[in-house]
Each structure stands twice: as structure tokens, then as C-alpha cells.
Amino acid sequence: MKQMEKMKTIFFATLLLCVAGCSKEGDSPYADDPLIPVYLAGIESVNINNAGRHPFITTDPIKKEAYMIGIRWVTDNSDPYGDQEITGPIEAGKNCYQNIADGYTRRIYCNTVFNSRNPEGANVSQYFKKVPYLPTGIDEGYVLLFSPDPGNHSFKVVFTHNNGERYEYNTELIRLY
């Protein structure tokens, strides 16, 4: 009896390894479909409270230690460079949603006095760090690592591409305490 149980366990473990190892990313029923190209057409930024178990977008006051900026990508699928020709399928990984912001540098400026060393308009990018945990509908998030003076704050997020393309968006004024 024990021998049979042992053989069943080995069989199911082998079957599980085969199924896990045989699956490829291209096995999707849509893997051979051409990709629809997507381009970045702008950005929007929101205030996020990171104090609880899950971060959430808010307009209510936030503890300085729990503040995040969230970025939504505004997208378009028309070629921003005016290419009017019919082309073949887009190469995998090119102009896909998950990488449309590649090639952009990101900077964060304070629209209000951040503290005694950082007046209105100062680049405060070094005080933020990109994080992977985000509320639904947010494409990028940056948590504040350095506490500003308590009070009302607003930030300007700027994306600049090496071709000169530039997008910016101001967060709503938020009270940080």
C-alpha cells in the first residue's frame, strides 16, 4: 500500500513539473496576433495614501511618512511621428503598453515650499523612490522618503524623452502632516 502511495506522489510530481516546464509565453491563443502599437500621449498624477495595507488614491490629508505620487499614462495608438503607411506587425516588446514610458527621464518638482532647503520649484526627485505596489489604474508610483515641512503641498511630475518630447502634470494640493 505504501509503495502505491509513493508511486502516485512521484507520478503527480513529475506530471506537475512537465506541465509547468512545457508552458511557454507564446502558447497563448493570441500569441501570433499582431500587436496594436501604443504611444505615450501624456501623464496624469494623483496623491496616494500608503499608510494602510493597500495604497489608495485620496484627497484627504496624509501622514508625511505615508505619501506617494501615482502616475497614470495617457495613451494613444496613432503614430505621433505621422507615419501614414501601412506597416507589418509590431515587433514583440516594441510600443507595447508595459514599456511605452521607456526612454523618458522622470523628475519631480515641488510647486510649494518643501522645506527650508527646497523652495517652491526645486527638484525634489531624490526624495522619492519608485515602488511596484500600486492602486488599480496607476502605472507608476513614487513613495516619499524624506519628510517635507507639514502643510499643503503640490508636486509637478515631468517626463522628458531624449527626442525632446515632454509631459508634465501637477498633483492636487494635499495636506501632509
Average pLDDT on 27-43 reads 68
Contacts of 44 (CB under 8 A, 6+ apart): 71, 72, 74, 169
Instruction: Evaluate if residue 135 carries a pLDDT over 80.
Output: yes
Backbone angles phi, psi at 134, to 5 degrees: -140, 155
- 8 A C-beta contact, residue 55 and residue 141: yes
0.75 exceeded by the pTM?
no
What proportion of the chain, given as a percentage, has pLDDT over 90? 58
Query: Domain 39-176 belongs to what topology?
Result: Immunoglobulin-like (2.60.40)
Residue 123 has what DSSP assignment? Answer: B
Write out the three cell numbers for 27. 502558447
Q: How confident is the model over 143-177, as pLDDT tens digits?
A: 999 999 999 999 999 999 988 999 999 999 999 99
